[in-house]
Amino acid sequence: MKKKDDICLKPIGLVENSISDRRGFCDWEHVASRIVVKPELADALEGIERFSHLWIIFWMHKAPAELRKELKIHSIGFEKIPAMGVLATRFPFRPNPIGLTLVKLLRRSGNILEVEGLDAIDGTPILDIKPFTGHPREIAEDFKASFWANMSTREITSGGKDTNTIHFVTTNAGKFNTFVADLALAGYSIEMVHEKMDLPEPRSNIDQIAINKALFAHKKLRKPVIVIDAGFYIYALNGWPGVFVNEMLGWKSEPRAMIEKILRLMEGEPRECAFVNCLAYYDGTTAGPIIFESRAEGILAEAPRGKIKEGKESKSWSILDLIFIPEGETKTLAETKESGEYETWRRKRLKTKESCVAKFAEWFSKQKHPESF
């Protein structure tokens, strides 16, 4: 092998945080750090605030020289895990101690980036910064990993992963409550936990959005997760607003104005529409998240009808319940929830496997108890 010249890299900045020693510290996901880029490179950050997440490449400058010579190690320091080549692990002490981490960008102020989740100690040199785009090439759909790769320290020491409890990730209480109620209506007993977490909203189709969110949530929790993404499609408007209903119509800031805007646009137009839901499940044991889709056809009401119950007991996913009339029904979803007819409609969809919840529950139960099918 022909000898190459040494590579000379110059840091573009330094890390500032409260962590001075990484030994024994594992809660990196909640660490807030500042990346101070050299002032003369500040212009290179222009536009970076348009991205929610960044890849950070850094040099682990305190990696002991003697440990960098080790070629085989027990990953995460546990002898329960078979010894592997250091290049087949995320072990920090390696021939070239380069770190790579996906972080959340909180804000930018000139040449300073405030981030969350950077597993680098105070004073760590930064080699490069790249934006996370959500592009499919950044998320391998057919990857595989060693069984321990997504296990937490607790799971390793206790002897394995808990794959029976599923963590439903959403900030929408109505979405979680409806899911749990549907499981009961369909006759399935699956232990669910509500995890409130803000998830990135990449621009893509509904399947890829759900997949990206499931991967993101699993990386954070390291537990089996479910996310459900939804789209609302009005056929007379060429499927608008689709998956970006919240962003385009101001769902979070002005939900009532969103309803009024839709109804104004639909004056004199055919009122057929559909809700599409995509459920993504991921526990780290498959090549990628498993997805289940469902579609509910219907029409738009002439005016809002019914009431939306808010708070922890809510069963409404969206304020669109006020104007969506399911196919074959005469009442809006909001009205059916008030009258008790909603359960009848849901039970029918669950029985005929039209619901993504029923599709998932049947699949999951077969994985856990194949002898029952």
Q: What is the pLDDT of residues 158-216, one digit of tens each?
A: 555 555 789 999 998 888 988 998 999 888 889 899 999 988 877 778 999 999 999 99
CATH of domain 153-372: 3.90.950.10
Residue 224: what residue type? Answer: P
Domain limits of the chain?
13-138, 153-372
Residue 20, pLDDT score = 87
The DSSP output letter for 75 is G
> Using an 8 Å Cβ cutoff, are 270 and 202 in contact?
no
Six token digits for residue 150: 């997504």
pLDDT of residue 247: 61
Strands 324-326 and 290-300: antiparallel
pLDDT, tens only, 243-288: 876 665 544 556 677 788 889 999 999 999 999 999 999 988 887 8
Tell me the residue type at 130. K
> What pLDDT does residue 250 have?
47
| Residue 326: how many other CB atoms lie within 10 Å | 21
Average model confidence (pLDDT) across the chain: 84
C-alpha atoms less than 13 angstroms from C-alpha of 75 in its C-beta half-sphere: 19
Task: For the domain made up of 13-138, give the CATH fold.
Answer: Elongation Factor Tu (Ef-tu); domain 3 (2.40.30)
pLDDT computed for residue 148 by the predictor: 57
Lowest-pLDDT choice from 100-104, 123-127, 148-152, 236-240: 148-152
Measured CA to CA, the distance from residue 367 to residue 23 in angstroms comes to: 39
Least confident of 90-94, 235-239, 312-316: 312-316
The rounded radius of gyration (Å) of the Cα atoms in the chain is 24
Q: Which helix (H) or strand (E) holds 134?
A: none
Residue range 281-305: average pLDDT? Answer: 92
Collapse the DSSP code of 78 into the 3-class scheme (helix H, G, I; strand E, B; otherwise coil) and give the result: coil
More confident residue, 63 or 296: 296
DSSP designation for 7: P
How far apart CA 190 and CA 283 sit, in angstroms, is 15
Torsion, Cα of 127, 133, 137, 138 (10° steps): 50
**pLDDT of the residue at 279:** 96
Confidence at residue 244, expressed as pLDDT on a 0 to 100 scale = 73
For residue 131, the one-letter residue type is P
Q: Can you give the pTM of this predicted structure?
A: 0.59
Q: Do domains 13-138 and 153-372 have the same CATH topology?
A: no
Please give the average per-residue pLDDT across 92-97, as a whole number. Answer: 86
pLDDT at residue 143, rounded to an integer: 61
How far is it, in rounded angstroms, from Cα 272 to Cα 327?
Answer: 9
Least reliable range by pLDDT among 3-7, 37-41, 103-107: 3-7
A 10 A CB-CB count for 256 gives 11
pLDDT confidence tier of residue 331, bands split at 50, 70 and 90 = very high
Residues paired with 276 in a beta bridge: 231, 295
| Structure-block tokens of residue 230 | 């939804």
Structure tokens at 148: 């321990």
Q: Which two tokens stand for residue 323?
A: 């104007």
Report the C-alpha gap between 358 and 353 in whole angstroms: 6
- pLDDT at position 369 is 62
pLDDT of residue 94 exceeding 70: yes
> Please, what is the Cα angle at 248 between 243 and 254, to 5 degrees?
120
Least confident segment among 51-60, 93-102, 132-141: 132-141
Q: Which amino acid is residue 219, in one-letter code?
A: K
Confidence of residue 301 (pLDDT cuts 50, 70, 90): very high
pLDDT tens readout for residues 109-137: 999 999 999 999 999 999 999 999 877 66
Nearest to 291 by CA among 373, 369, 225: 225
Whether residue 16 is predicted with pLDDT greater than 50 in this model: the reply is yes
CA distance 275 to 326: 9
Out of 1-5, 182-186, 294-298, the most confident range is 294-298
Question: Phi, psi (5° rounding) for residue 247?
Answer: -70, -45
Q: What's the one-letter identity of residue 122?
A: D
